[in-house]
Amino acid sequence: MVASEIRALFAVASRPEIVSLAGGSPFVSALPLDAVGDMVARLIASQGQDALQYCAAQGDLRLREQICEVMSLEGVVAHPDEVVVTVGSQQALDLITRIFVDPGDVVLAEAPSYVGALGAFAAYQAEVVHVPMDESGLIPEALSAAIERVTAEGRTIKFLYTVPSFHNPAGVTLAESRRAEVLRVCERAGLLVIEDNPYGLLGFEGTPLRPLRARTRDGVVYLGSFSKTIAAGLRVGWAVAPAAVRDKLVLAAESAVLCPASFAQLTVREYLSTQPWREQIKTFRELYRERRDAMLQALTAMMPSGCAWTTPAGGFFVWLRLPEGIDAKAMLPRAVSSRVAYVPGTGFYADGSGAGHARLCYSLPSPDQISEGVRRLAGVVDAELTLREEFGPVLRRHG
Ligand code: PMP
């Protein structure tokens, strides 16, 4: 295990003079904090004996029913028996990997992939094989080819890990036309799909695309989270899995944490039954759309030519491609000196590639801060380009 690039950055990026486009934290201040505070006080006064007690390892039954209601907004039909409540979806990722992966097994994952998933895969010594994406998400033909190649090498693939909607970090969404095809490819190969969908309800345009789990009950383990739709600090997420996998998940969760926190679960349960949570998700969606727009406008207005970026239709992230030859990791100290932070692309690849990219997150800073952050970043990229023009020939001559 090694420190993730993001964690190492947090200390620096949280200094007040720095505009952080790194992070990835939701804007929890948009919650009605007074109302939530009153609700929590009432919860402890009236149900403290349950909220402060151990509970079942699979999670609170009423909460699992409510989770099924939340998932139905995206067209996922699931039974509360199939749901396992976890400590954030991060714990679900850890447990799934622990259950399935032996050292040296292959996990297929998009290129790039969510850094926390890569961390879990590394902790269990999985070998990640990346599958390319384009603006429409994972490329089914590339997935097929990767399965063929790895199988021909005699290696075992345990699952495909994918974030089909509003990808972290790539900011792209798997096109409707590709969703059935990805499932077909995996089904043909007998490959389990781990569908990670924490941003599904945070789409900016029209109705969200149906998750893979809405199209098939078998062959997909679905991961959800309240981190972005309610509050990340509660650490409540879940997995929906076929019975055999669910049983193993419950056993693995029991050995890790006995049970998820009753206090957090009952807080979510109470929030979903007494607060206007659908309207609150709409508020989040509008807030993030405004911030996405601020970022895209600033990038268009200020980034030097040679840069390119994705246009997210939801979620928190823009994936920036830097001009040829600029290394995002090497540039970071100069960016921090110019009071802007981002996450270099290398954090999102198991093989250390991705240096030509950066992840920019717009969920936490205000629109004005976003514009200022992009202005500073554009200045840093400009300076890199100038440096290369002036010293490039010298550097090349001297190796
Ligand atoms: N998956 C993805 C794609 C994420 O972006 C995150 C949070 N950054 C997680 C899982 C973990 O979320 P949590 O543990 O807070 O539910």
Determine the average pLDDT of the residues in 254-278. Answer: 97
CA of 93 to the centre of ligand 1 (A): 9
Q: Which of 2-35 are b and which e, b meaning 16 or more Cβ less than 10 Å from the residue's Cβ?
A: eebbbeebeeebeeeebbbbbbbbbbbeebeeee
Domain end residue (candidates: 274, 295, 316): 274
| Residue 139 CB coordination number (10 Å) | 20
- Do residues 267 and 283 share a domain? no
- Do residues 283 and 266 share a domain? no
Q: Is 198 a domain residue? A: yes
Number of domains in the chain: 2
The reported pLDDT for the residue numbered 12 is 75
Which residue range(s) make up the domain with 377? Answer: 7-24+279-397
Percent of the chain with pLDDT over 90: 91
- Do residues 253 and 157 share a domain? yes
pLDDT tens digits along 17-72? 999 999 899 999 999 999 999 999 999 999 999 999 999 999 999 999 999 999 99
- Do residues 137 and 170 share a domain? yes
CA dihedral of residues 136, 141, 144, 149 (deg, nearest 10): -110
Q: What does the angle CA 312 – CA 235 – CA 55 come to, to the nearest 5 degrees?
A: 145
The reported pLDDT for the residue numbered 5 is 62
Q: Which of 317-332 are b and which e, b meaning 16 or more Cβ less than 10 Å from the residue's Cβ?
A: bbbbbbbeebebbebb
Does the C-beta of 169 come closer than 6 Å to ligand 1? Answer: no
Tokens (6 digits) for 297: 């406008």
Does the C-beta of 232 come closer than 6 Å to ligand 1? Answer: yes
Enter the pTM of the model.
0.96
Instruction: Tell me which of 98 and 208 has the higher pLDDT.
Output: 98
| Residue 311 CB coordination number (10 Å) | 12
Which atom of ligand 1 lies closest to the CA of 24?
A: 8
Rounded to the nearest integer, the mean pLDDT of the chain is: 95
Determine the average pLDDT of the residues in 101-129. Answer: 97
Q: Is 255 a domain residue? A: yes
pLDDT tens digits along 173-199? 999 999 999 999 999 999 999 999 999
Helices and strands in the chain: count of H runs, count of E runs: 12, 14
The reported pLDDT for the residue numbered 66 is 98
Which atom of ligand 1 lies closest to the CA of 232?
A: 15
**Which range among 209-213, 334-338, 385-389 shows the weakest confidence by mean pLDDT?**
385-389
